[in-house]
Amino acid sequence: MLRQALAQSWTSEFAVEARNLVKDFGEKRAVDGVSLTVPTGSIYGLLGPNGAGKTTTLRMLLGIIDPSSGERSVLGNIRPLEVASRVGYLPEERGLYPSMNAREAIAFLGALRGMPLAEGRRRGDQLLADAGLSDWAKKPIRTLSKGMAQTVQLLGTLVHDPRLIVLDEPFSGLDPINQGKLERLIRERAANGVTVIFSTHVIAHAERLCERIAIIAAGKVAFEGRVDEARSRLRQIVRLRTRACDGPWRSALPANARCEHGEWVFELPDSGPEPLLKALMDGDAGIETLAIERPGLHEAFVAIAGEAAAEAMGNPELGG
């Protein structure tokens, strides 16, 4: 009765919902009250540094482990394994049977999710051909490169046409070309109404792909919502270059404006750009360039999760 009552309280609008998920490993609390709502058909990013609790959250959502407390619903079901046939999962630690060939590995992963083996083999051949790996279809996994094996596992994750795809750090270990391919693939699936959740510690991927994100730091959700909402938490940044170095117009700049390489950088004042522009023009500042920028997700992440978490995430540019 209680379970039924709980199940009825979930909405079909969301492919995945989590409420106050907590996971303790012994005395250590890995996930501390995570709540998420992933709209059906959206691309959703779990953002956070290593050890933040992203993988543990995903594992709880998928039913690999039970939460210490809290509730979750996946595709409308509070028992995620019961909808496993409609879910595809690529774990962070990739793993395949080394003696299986690529085609069989894809078919096996499909069969685990309820797809007939013969159909899995047929679709495996097709997916391998689309990925340009036809020549490797009959080769054992142990003979493939790490990137190829990773691609095979990704194809195995998608072979049964899941309605929900969960990818844990899918971009790690891929070269920039394959990262681009994966981004395209995620967009294609989402365009067909498939919900995609992926975790990453590379902000650029989340910024490019996600409609909604959850920023997780130290096991807690520091932010959950749309990417533009995260960015709008910060004020817009003004970058100003003038011919005159000084003048009465300087008083129009905020007190915390700083000069970087001959350029003034400061947050757009509450009063907006017009009073600032007027002061600059009246004061003969001689505007060379004036740019008003929306802060990126990286800046938003720094502001939300803290400088330490941002440092732990590493350089987003390197991450692709």
Partner 1 sequence: MVIARRDFTATVLSKTFFFFLLGPLFPLLLGGVFGGIGARVASQTAQPVVAVVMHEKEFEVLYKARQRLADATGEDAVVHLAYYAPEPDSDAQVKRLLKSSNPPIRAVLTGWFGDPKLVGDLRPDSATERQIKLLLRNSIMPEFPSPRLDVERTAPAAGSMAKDRAVTAQLGQMFLFFLTILLAGMLLSQMIEEKSNKIIEVIAAAVPIDSMFLGKLFAMLGACLLGLLVWGSIGFATVAFLSGGNLDKIPAPAVGWPAFLGFAVIYFSMNYLLLGALFLSIGAQASTAREVQILSMPVTFAQVLIFGLAAVAVGAPNSPGAMAAAIFPLSSPLVMLARAAEVPGFGPHFLALAWQALWVGIILAIGARLFRRRVLQSGRARPFWRRRSTA
Which is nearer to partner 1, 152 or 215 (by Cβ)?
152
User: Number of residues in contact with partner 1, rule: CB under 8 A?
Assistant: 33
Query: What is the smallest separation between the CB atom of 106 and partner 1, expressed in angstroms?
Result: 12
From 45, 53, 91, 219, residue interacting with partner 1 (rule: CB under 8 A): 91
* From 92-100, 239-247, 262-270, 291-299, span contacting partner 1 (CB under 8 A): 92-100
From 16, 34, 78, 84, residue interacting with partner 1 (rule: CB under 8 A): 84
Which is nearer to partner 1, 62 or 221 (by Cβ)?
62
CA distance 99 to 25: 34
Residues in 152-191 at the binding interface with partner 1, rule: CB under 8 A: 153
Query: Does 316 help bind partner 1 (rule: CB under 8 A)?
Result: no
Query: Does 303 help bind partner 1 (rule: CB under 8 A)?
Result: no
Which is nearer to partner 1, 153 or 242 (by Cβ)?
153
Query: Does 21 help bind partner 1 (rule: CB under 8 A)?
Result: no
From 93, 246, 260, 307, residue interacting with partner 1 (rule: CB under 8 A): 93
* From 18-26, 240-248, 278-286, 311-319, span contacting partner 1 (CB under 8 A): 18-26
Query: Does 35 help bind partner 1 (rule: CB under 8 A)?
Result: no
From 69, 143, 192, 315, residue interacting with partner 1 (rule: CB under 8 A): 69
CA distance 14 to 262: 49
Which residues bind to partner 1, rule: CB under 8 A? Answer: 22, 24-25, 27, 59, 62-69, 81, 84, 87, 89, 91, 93-100, 108-109, 111-113, 117, 153
